[in-house]
Amino acid sequence: MLYHIVTYGCQMNVHESEKIANVLEELNYQPTENREDADIIVFNTCAIREGAENRAFGNIGALKQQKKRNKNLIIVVCGCMTQQKDVQEKIFKTFPFVDIVIGTHNLYNLKTLISRKITDRKRIKEYQESGELHEELIAKRTSGDNAWVNIMYGCNNFCTYCIVPYVRGREISRKKSDILNEIKDIIATNSYKTITLLGQNVNSYGNDDKTQGTFSELLQDICNLDGDFKLTFMTSHPKDLSDEVIDVMSKNDKILKELHLPVQSGSNKILKAMNRNYTIEHYLDIVKKLRDKMPNIRLTTDIIVGFPGETEEDFNQTCELVKKVRYDGIFAFMYSKRSGTVAEKLPNQIDEDTKHNRVNYLLDLEKEIKAQKEN
């Protein structure tokens, strides 16, 4: 019996698929690279932009023929897309050959649901409004010499464009002792060079449970563990990146000198409309602190172009910021309207042509900076 997992979206999902793989192997399935050979196919979906959702819809739809050929094939759709109740309903109705549709908060129950499906054959749809920690889900690590470790789940920030807080729920930090034990086990295998800590906003680790301490303390405790490993983390919200974290980063050789620090826009007006809670002046101040202590730090960022109300002048400010910071990498996205978010209802939505032009301009700028850096 063979399984095949299709993963969309961020590193969080990549790691979640490692947990799904473990569940499937506990049920005696073996992995296959070839979807056509699979007895069970799992789509771990992403909802961050419309494009990701459309790709998933297309690829799920394409399975109809395979299901016709193999009536026993089990198809599961889970992840952020199906944590939106209306989308879950739509997938269940549109694709009658899909067997199990669950949201992010029901993943812990996947093993039971697959067993139930095998015994009573009925289609399953499960939705839970909010979630809790599930330490019993362990990963079958498949990301080469990098080991992902969740330190927290969810997001409390409600950036006005973003669907994540709606599909991942409120911030929940794992217990520090559980994180340290997982990392000790990873080190003991001698199979991984880097450990990457994961959270929507790792800098707010412990805010929901002060007894766990802060993110900078967690970083230091991990660095204090014996072993030959490198440590990195994502994602950091500029409003929460503390001086202590910068300090711990600079003082510990185990921490890689790289930071992904999404700025989203170079215009204070747009940052305010995005509910980002920092100014460009504050952001540049952090960049200065980072570079003062770690002159060769590799900085990368996310930028959204075409947020509602973004004028040429706002976009110019983003370009100016990019020229000032001279990033080592930029992920530039065209704003995508997400249902249920505040920005969905904002006036002055930007047309697609303008978004394309702006994203291309940024990518050219990034290339130019890269070429200059390489010389």
CB 142 within 8 A of CB 18: yes
User: Of 102, 94, 223, 200, which is closest to residue 151 (Cα–Cα)?
Assistant: 200
Query: Which residue number, 205 or 335, has a Cβ lying nearer to ligand 5AD?
Result: 335
Residue from 104, 200, 267, 336 that binds ligand SF4 (CB under 6 A)?
A: 200
CB 249 within 8 A of CB 295: no
Using CB atoms within 10 A of its CB, is residue 37 exposed (0-12), middle (13-18) or buried (19+)? exposed
Binding of ligand SF4 at residue 220 (CB under 6 A)?
no
CA distance 359 to 343: 19
CA distance 232 to 11: 13
Binding of ligand 5AD at residue 333 (CB under 6 A)?
yes
Query: Which residue number, 240 or 328, has a Cβ lying nearer to ligand SF4?
Result: 240
Query: Which residue number, 95 or 307, has a Cβ lying nearer to ligand SF4?
Result: 307
Residue from 8, 108, 233, 335 that binds ligand 5AD (CB under 6 A)?
A: 335
Binding of ligand 5AD at residue 43 (CB under 6 A)?
no
Query: Which residue number, 81 or 162, has a Cβ lying nearer to ligand 5AD?
Result: 162
Binding of ligand SF4 at residue 106 (CB under 6 A)?
no
Minimum Å gap between C-beta 203 and ligand 5AD is 14
Binding of ligand 5AD at residue 304 (CB under 6 A)?
yes
| Cα of 349 vs its chain's centroid, Å | 25
CA dihedral 17, 21, 22, 26 (to 10 degrees): 150
- CA angle in degrees (0–180, nearest 5) for 29-196-178: 75
Q: Strand 258-260 to strand 172-173: parallel, antiparallel, or no bridges (unpaired)?
A: unpaired
Minimum Å gap between C-beta 135 and ligand SF4 is 23
Query: Which residue number, 128 or 349, has a Cβ lying nearer to ligand 5AD?
Result: 349
Binding site for ligand SF4 (CB under 6 A): 155, 157-159, 162, 164-165, 200-201, 237
Report the interface residues with ligand 5AD, using CB under 6 A: 48-49, 161-162, 262, 264, 302, 304, 333, 335-336, 338
